[in-house]
Each structure stands twice: as C-alpha cells, then as structure tokens.
A = this chain, B = another copy of it.
Amino acid sequence: MDQPQEKLYVVKIGGNVLDDEIGLNSFLSLFAAMEEKKILVHGGGNLATQLAEKLGIEQTLVDGRRITDAQTLEIVTMVYAGSINKSIVAKLIAKGCPAFGLCGADGSLIMAHKRIHQSIEYGFVGDVDSVNSRLIDTLLKSDQVLVIAPITSDGKGQLLNTNADTIAQEIAKAMSQIYAVELIYSFEKEGVLMDITDENSVLETLTPSLYAELKSTQKIFAGMIPKLDNAFSALDAGVKKVIIGKAGSIDLLIQGKKGTRIIQDGK
C-alpha cells in the first residue's frame, strides 16, 4: 500500500469576513491554531470598492465580478496584494503562525490569461492556466503558511485580477498530486442553506445528484452556484473533501461538526 499522503488544508476566506475586524481576528486565531499544513486564499472585501470611491473611480460589477479597467487593476493590486495580504500576514505572525504572503504573480505561482468573452469586456480579469505546485511545495516544506492574494500575471508583463474562489480551487486541485487536500470555502454563512433566510437550514452533505435536483427546482441560491460548481470540479480533480461554512467556525468545519460537506454520490 502507498504511504498515506500528508494533509493540506486550502482555505478560502470570503470578502465579508475581511470587512469585519473582530470576526476576522477570531477566524485568524482559529486558523493559526490548525496544526496541519495550510494555505489561506483571500478575496478583497469592500476595501477596494471604498478606495475606488475615495479616488472617484467608478466601479462596475457584472454577475458579481468586477469589471477591471487599468485604474481598477491598480486599486485591487494595492488593496488585495498590498494592504489586506500584509495585514493578514502580520496578524498571523503575531499569533505564532509563520505566515508568508504572496500573490499569483510571484514566482509565476499562478499563470493566467486575460478573459475573452463574447459579449462582456471584463478588462484585466484573469482565467487560470496553471499552478506552480513545486514552488508551493517548497514553501510548505520550509514550514511557511501561504497567504495568497488573487492577483495573477499572464507572463507577458500584465497583472490580472482573478477570482479568489477559482484560485483556491485550482491550488487545491494542483496540490492533490502531492497532498491529501481538503478545500474549505469559509464565509459569513453556516453552509449551503436550503432557505437563505434561515441559518438553521444548512445542508449537511451535498452530492452531484442532489445538487442537480436542487438546481433544476431552483432551490439553490444563485450566488452559491459558481462556488458549488468550483467545489464539484475540485472533487472530480482529486481533492479529498470540500467543506463550505462559517469562517468563525473553521475549527468545527474541519472536524466535520458544522458546515456543508460536498461529496461524490455513494460515499
């Protein structure tokens, strides 16, 4: 029998948690205390929108994705890869967690290309081509806890704004070659809810067949669909578990005591 793979958690933390200083702090304490190898991928929260407003740069969102013109790219690079990334790193280090912040451009960690879309001009938005799993593994083996901001480059000098859920999923997939990866989408909700207004309506498990049924009867909140598509795609690519739930309960999520577990049918 093969030697069991070492466990690696890839945790995505959602935007709303970043905007709540107390919530963020308690999440980071729980994250710092997790003993296994781990990677944190963060989005941007409202800070980029706030900075854009102060600078008088109008923001356009299409289906929840920011249209990224050159000025907006400058802002998200500053906010995501600069202030949010480095303040999370400093806070984790203070909690005894050897955090190491970087973005997808660094060391060509995540290569991407500018999104081409038939009808929408997204601007400087990247779709992921590849993940440098060797470099990630080198850093993990040097006992670094990676904190990754969702900015990538196209290898030709252009930075690109890239969806953080997708980055978490692509890293989880790529690292599944080396580690037993569990991918955790943590945000402000208890999990995948059957009723968006009721935090007690958490689905404990979600399989592809149940997901298809819920989608066809429109019982899944539309905003969750990209996240869930990402989750099932990760499972198909060898990620061991995908868990969706509240950032402030990350300890209970990894113990299987809270949140929604995304699993294959018949498991």
Interface size on A, residues (CB 8 A): 39
Known: A98-B108, A107-B98, A108-B93. A142 touches B153 (CB 8 A): no
Whether A94 contacts B55 by the Cβ 8 Å rule is: no
Known: A106-B102, A142-B138. A93 touches B155 (CB 8 A): yes
Q: Mark A108-132, 1 if CB is under 8 A from B, else 0.
A: 1000000000000000000000000
- Which of B74, B105, B156 is close to A89, meaning CB atoms less than 8 Å apart? B105
A18 → B minimal CB distance (Å) = 14
CA distance A158 to B86 in the complex (A): 10
Whether B81 contacts A105 by the Cβ 8 Å rule is: no
Whether A78 sits at the interface, judged by CB under 8 Å, is: yes
Whether A77 contacts B87 by the Cβ 8 Å rule is: yes
Q: Quick one: copies of this chain in the complex?
A: 2
Q: Is the interface of A mostly helix, strand, loop or mixed?
A: helix
Whether A101 contacts B90 by the Cβ 8 Å rule is: no
The interface residues of chain B lying within 8 Å CB-to-CB of A55 are: 54-55
Whether B93 contacts A153 by the Cβ 8 Å rule is: yes
Q: Which of A167-199 contact B (CB under 8 A)?
A: none
Among A90, A98, A108, A138, chain B packs the most CB atoms within 10 A around the CB of A90
Whether A82 sits at the interface, judged by CB under 8 Å, is: yes
A residues neighboring B (CB under 8 Å): 54-55, 74, 77-83, 85-87, 89-91, 93-94, 98-103, 105-108, 135, 138, 142, 144, 151, 153, 155-159
